[in-house]
Amino acid sequence: MAVETSNDELLNAQLASREKVVVKYYADWCGSCKLFAAKYKRLSGDERFSDILFLDINAEHNPESRKLAGVDNLPFFATFKNGELVKTISTTKEENLVALLASI
């Protein structure tokens, strides 16, 4: 599955559209975010996570979405189940994100 782009206007509808959602918060200036983008895209196509909707949100341009997850560093990942925030993590390690995804 592909990674979908989101923003303040779309996020609530996207959270309601699927039981399990992961959001990656990034900024255009964030080098670590750019490096992690390919890993995130690959994980979105991983069979183990086929029931999870993968979203990308630019943290600088979407303050309401950023506030919803309590973003305090980048890249930042938030998981939601049935529209409710479950867990968050700021990481550049793929194994940490895999563990987060497995815990939804």
Question: Catalytic residues, which ones?
Answer: 30, 33
| Contact by Cβ (8 Å): 8, 65 | yes
Cα 44 to Cα 2, 10, 21, 41, 86: the distances in Å are 6, 19, 11, 5, 19
Q: What angle do CA 11, 15, 21 make, to 5 degrees?
A: 110
Give residue 57's Cα distance to chain centre. 7
Instruction: Please give the Cα distance from 66 to 68 (Å, whole number).
Output: 5
